[in-house]
Amino acid sequence: MITDNLFNADWKATVKNDKRSWALDVLENENENGLGDIYLKCISRWFSEMPGSNKQKNHLKASLKSLDNTDHLGAVNELSWWVFWVSRGFIIEPIPTGKNRTPDFCLKLEDLCVMFEVTTLNPSKDGRCNEINYSEKNSLKRIIVKMYDEKIGQFQYAYNKKMPVVLVLYNYDEFTGFGVQFNRDMNKNSLFGDTLLELSAIIYVERYVQEGKPMLKKDSIKVVDNPNAEFPFPEEAKKQIMSAAGIDNWIDCERA
């Protein structure tokens, strides 16, 4: 049985009353060394290793434990992005929240801080994206909403500090392979326009769970620079994400 405080007996009892949650499938495979067991222990350990006080990590903790699939996926995406960098020897730290919106992380490269804002594109519940069927057009429209509406405060925070900021976009809205369409349209500059100076780049990512552990899919990762950015995304950081190796097409978020 799993004894981690993050997913304790009280949490499990709550899960068993919810038939729609991600956690139901996990607990069905909870036997010792089962995939559910591996998954919960992995997430618990990553969370315990992330720096920050209990107060600073409280929101992330609540989201990881949430039975709402959207909340949980977003929190695991954020956590796995931190793990990806720190396990490869980089210094990446959560940015404390304040009165104004702040990006999620600061990646330290010599005398420069690269800020990451991690977000998730889940199946749309947004009335501004009212197509009934999922399509590339629908996701592209929602990316625009993310950039120009939902995340502009985080971008401006980095811009005011004269630091590059990157939107890390995990996608659960589309079929596998949307990254090709995304890359083509982004490189035509059809999304950036000519006014978004604050955003340095977008990194498009697809994450899956393999053998109980979160992994990134190598051929889905796309890094697209904003040609209008005031502070470009450094090549050193870009090369690291694009050169990451894994087994076949899977990159371990946590490198052994």
205-254 residue pLDDT tens:
888 888 889 999 888 888 888 888 999 999 999 999 989 888 888 999 99
pLDDT of residue 50 exceeding 80: yes
Distances (CA, A) of 243 to 146, 201, 221, 251: 27, 17, 11, 10
For residue 41, count other CB atoms closer than 10 A to its CB: 18
Strand partners, 215: 208, 252
What pTM, to 2 d.p., does this model score? 0.85
129-179 residue pLDDT tens:
344 344 444 566 667 777 777 888 999 999 999 999 999 998 866 544 444
pLDDT of residue 125 exceeding 60: no
